[in-house]
Structure 1
């Protein structure tokens, strides 16, 4: 499947402009929190990218401790000076998120970067054929965290903090392209709008929504299915390095926007004036209707 692109160049892997080794992208002395950070996940790879960029304090959140410990071990092996904290939590439950926020604040201090990578996709089926509880549980996990984050994590950030919500390009492509995935796609669409509200209600917070590309995980295997032969997969490091770039001042003009990690950052910088002059560009709007 080919996707539309905001830039002429559509990346599938690392390129120098988003390299965590660039001094301009350093996150030295910053505290980073990553949800969905289990081993082999997008979140785990994102955490490694921030470690490469110099983060000295990193908190990893997921439901399974053994998976988190595996991610921690990889970071510790490559970056022994980094302090990594493992916290198990269910992002759909307010009490669990509140306890995680308290533990991280007590253990690592106030945070600077929050990369939200946790999500779930239920069994692929039609709306009518879905188990109603499982179908709705996807909404609870994928959308309720915005409220939990605002109440429990937001008060514990430093000035100028950055929140990055990992979304899915599938949420605004036609339903015919992703059959039997209504709960996932609709909940991700709702989450993108909630990111917009987080930005509007908290102007001191740098908010970005990101499509992470098509990375091979257990979740994406379900979406790809029999179409794998026609799908070009993206390297997991691409989204991690792209998020590191988003934390830098170079991305300031993209605050509050929905961007794809595949889009070339230098080309986006060249379009800075166009983006800044159009408040609806790269935001969730109603296609086919000129409502501004």
Structure 2
């Protein structure tokens, strides 16, 4: 049995997080998806459009992929106003200019999803090329910090900032699955987001493990290079879960670390406990022993 916070877990979307539910409506929200041209970012963009969003901005490194996604969106959602920005998340000026442009043309971003990320080499640290290994920190850590600074300057003061993380930051290291660069960089991002949320209490910041999505470029890389077989989760599960976390119903998860696979009904049942305790934040097993 997989370890979980809720008794019920999901590997595909379900009725309670359907983006078409009226109380999950994004019709009045400006949504910014960083890393939105493919994979989970693209699926999340489509989910917010299904939730009624009319103002959408996507960033990514490849202009051709962004243009293709924008054309696909225009054909399916002709009323949506979509902007694209070919910019690397580590480019501080480029990201600042992009978020500022979103503010000027669409209104300040109400929801920001950071799905940009690099897996890095799946090799033991001793045999890794350190320049490639470090690339995970450049994109995953510096990129998140760059985006956070742009958000504080140009997004809505009460925006929701959803940072994609990984369950790999929580489990013991395994020699059979060498992801030291990826896991350590995501661990750093998780703590950065804790501070970002604490320093900006008007924002709703969350770290979210999207599940194991094996049909994305990063997911395929993990399967091919590790040789580990994963059952895999449907890509619409994190996409729809992210729409739910951006809703008022999920405010109690502010500054927490959650899994898209967890059942939201069970989470809501524990709302008061989660809000009033250190549940669902990083800690040290067995600490404190004495207070």
Indicate whether 1:167 and 2:168 are aligned.
Answer: no
Equivalent residue, structure 1, for 2:272: 273
- TM-score, normalised to structure 2's length? 0.94
Find the partner of 1:158 among 156, 159, 166. 156
2:228 equivalent in structure 1 = 227
Q: Is the 8 A contact 1:170 1:178 kept in 2?
A: no
Residue of structure 2 aligned with 1:55, choices 53, 56, 62: 53
Q: 1:55-100 deviations in whole A, cap 9, x for unaligned?
A: 1010000000111122222222221111111101111121222222
Q: Deviations over 1:169-228 (max 9, x none)?
A: 112112107622111000000001111011100000011110000112121122234222
Secondary structure of the structure 2 residue equivalent to 1:106: helix
Does 2:20 correspond to 1:21?
yes
Q: Post-superposition, which runs of at least 4 consecutive aligned residues in structure 1 deviate over 6 A?
A: none
1:222–1:20: structure 2 CA closer, same or farther, 3 Å change rule?
same
Matches within 5 A, 1:75-90: 75-90=73-88
- Consecutive unaligned residues of structure 2, counting only runs of 5 or more, are none
1:105 to partner: Cα distance: 2.4
Equivalences, count: 287
2:102 alignment partner, SS class: helix
Change (3 A) 1:178 1:78: farther
CA distance in 2, matches of 1:178, 1:85: 42
For 1:99-114, list aligned pairs within 5 A: 99-114=97-112
TM-score normalised over the length of structure 1: 0.94
- C-alpha change, 1:177 and 1:13, in structure 2 (3 Å) is farther
- The 5 A counterparts of 1:114-263 are 114-176=112-174, 179-216=177-214, 217-225=216-224, 226-228=227-229, 231-263=230-262
Q: Distance in 1 between matches of 2:93 and 2:125?
A: 30
Query: Structure 1 259/178 Cα, relative in aligned 2: closer, same or farther at 3 Å?
Result: farther
Matches of 1:98 and 1:169, distance apart in 2:
29
Partner of 1:5: 4
**1:88–1:100: 8 Å Cα contact kept in structure 2?**
no
Matched position secondary structure for 2:158:
strand
Q: Against the structure 1 CA distance between its residues 223 and 177, is the aligned structure 2 distance closer, same or farther, given a 3 Å change threshold? A: farther
Q: 1:94 to 1:159 in 2, by over 3 A?
A: closer
RMSD of equivalent CA atoms: 1.6
List per-residue Cα deviations over 1:212-268 (Å, max 9, x = no partner).
00112121122234222xx22111111111111111111111110000000010110
